[in-house]
Structure 1
Amino acid sequence: MSTSRDAASSPSSPGNRVLLAYFSRAGENYFNGGRRRLTVGNTEVVAGVIGRLIGCDVHRIEAAEPYPDDYEPTVARNVREQQTDARPGIANPLGSIARYDTVLLGSPIWNVRAPMIMTTFVAGLDFAGKAVHPLTTHAMSRLGTTERDYAAACPGAKLGEGLAVRGEEVAAAEPDVAAWLRRIGLLGR
């Protein structure tokens, strides 16, 4: 599912066109040491809050080969993808981000880094002159290696402050999300 709104009309960011591109996975997820089945992935919950607060364009990155619904097979696939530096296919790639000034890159953190599909997503895009802010949902790794990874994968971008939200806390994260958006200049004071 990909949704889009005209970022140029956002009252919170006049002159600053914002894209929120995110990958999220529902199904069986880690939750406080155990497992919980989610109908909406944690990163999608936070993306929904951001989209509502600032009215930016939102693009949900979808895997061409969907990740398994169960937790353990997803972990195994992720480990294989990380070990082989894989570039999983995207069902709905964006051809360009030229119209945007700021790009928020949202994903879970799997095994201390963003899923490899995020590397696929950024690989073909021109980030020169763009402000890039990572957004992650996690169990314990916070931003993981996203700052380092995006700095390398998005040449010419200005990497800005990221936000990490613990997966178990996404339902109550709006105040932290709003405070972050204010700090990075995307939400009025």
Structure 2
Amino acid sequence: MTQLTRRTLLSAGGVAALTALCGCSPSPGGESAPSSASEGRPERATTPPRTDDPGIVLVYFSRPGENYWEGGRRDLDVGNTKRLAQMIAERIDCDMYEIIAADPYPHAYDPTVERNVREQENDARPEIDSDFPDLSAYDAVMIGSPVWNTRAPMIMRTFLDRADALTGMTVHPFLTYAVGEGSVVDDYVELCPDADVRDGLAVRGEDVDGSGNAVDEWLRGNGLLERALPGN
């Protein structure tokens, strides 16, 4: 499997180019979310930042509940993006920060889709209900989300606004999808003009549990395995 550019994400299935989601396609799908959108209540705490050398922080948003799954629906106790984030965190030395929506998304799939459509149409910034990390402690961020209606959920833009568009940081995007990666990474390139946005990892939601090799390849291709945990 080869490392792909940020405009063509690495697929866990080895597909070089992914089909972009259409406006009516499943979007809480890798988390499957709604077409226009994809956990139990997340962990609210993040491990303390390092005080010696700048480190890396893994930031993600994920939605459990009813998700798109193989053309149908399936209830997930842990959302696909959170599972992928946990796989990454098992491999490298990083701190974790989970983005939690102050107004939680519905458990049901279709209402989540409908809410996501409204938020996209209104260029909304859903409020984050979690303590914001001190990003000055880090030189790199891995940022993960599902693909909802071809884009990252709008709460990711809330995070970017508060994080000053990750200015001066190296950004490693990862995402889960139902049909394709959409414009998520290109959006980060546009929204974070003063950040170094690197190659992305895209994994189909249904394939997350078997994506270990793809995760390893992505980490290795971006030089992140140099931060491997002892024993890895």
**1:26 corresponds to:** 64
Query: Paired residue for 1:2, among 37, 44, 48?
Result: 44
Query: Paired residue for 1:121, among 154, 159, 162?
Result: 159
Q: Does structure 1 conserve the Cα–Cα contact (< 8 Å) formed by 2:63 and 2:78?
A: yes
Answer 1 or 2: higher relative contact order, Cα 8 Å, separation at least 6.
Answer: 2
Corresponding position: 1:131 with 2:170 = yes
**1:71 corresponds to:** 109
1:93-172 equivalences under 5 Å are 93-94=131-132, 96-126=134-164, 127-142=166-181, 144-172=182-210
Deviation at 1:112, TM superposition (A): 0.4
Identify if the C-alpha distance between structure 1 residues 112 and 46 changes in structure 2 by more than 3 Å, giving closer, same or farther. Answer: same
More helix by share: 1
TM-score normalised to the size of structure 1? 0.91
Deviation at 1:31, TM superposition (A): 0.5
Deviation at 1:155, TM superposition (A): 3.2
TM-score normalised to the size of structure 2? 0.75
Deviation at 1:152, TM superposition (A): 2.5
**1:173 corresponds to:** 211
Corresponding position: 1:37 with 2:94 = no
SS of equivalent residue, structure 2 residue 138:
coil
Write the distance in 1 (CA, Å) between the matches of 2:135 and 2:205.
Answer: 28
Q: Flag structure 2 segments of 5+ consecutive residues without an equivalent.
A: 1-42
Write the distance in 2 (CA, Å) between the matches of 1:96 and 1:8.
Answer: 11
Write the distance in 1 (CA, Å) between the matches of 2:131 and 2:99.
Answer: 7
Write the distance in 2 (CA, Å) between the matches of 1:82 and 1:66.
Answer: 16
Query: Paired residue for 1:80, among 114, 118, 121?
Result: 118
Q: Flag structure 1 segments of 5+ consecutive residues without an equivalent.
A: none
Q: Does structure 1 conserve the Cα–Cα contact (< 8 Å) formed by 2:142 and 2:171?
A: yes
Write the distance in 1 (CA, Å) between the matches of 2:179 and 2:90.
Answer: 26
Identify if the C-alpha distance between structure 1 residues 15 and 184 changes in structure 2 by more than 3 Å, giving closer, same or farther. Answer: farther
Q: RMSD of the TM alignment (CA)?
A: 1.9
Deviation at 1:7, TM superposition (A): 6.5
SS of equivalent residue, structure 1 residue 147:
helix
Deviation at 1:15, TM superposition (A): 4.9
Q: Percent identity?
A: 48
Write the distance in 2 (CA, Å) between the matches of 1:3 and 1:181.
Answer: 24
Equivalences, count: 184
Q: Does structure 1 conserve the Cα–Cα contact (< 8 Å) formed by 2:49 and 2:137?
A: no
Deviation at 1:6, TM superposition (A): 5.6
SS of equivalent residue, structure 1 residue 187:
helix
SS of equivalent residue, structure 2 residue 67:
strand
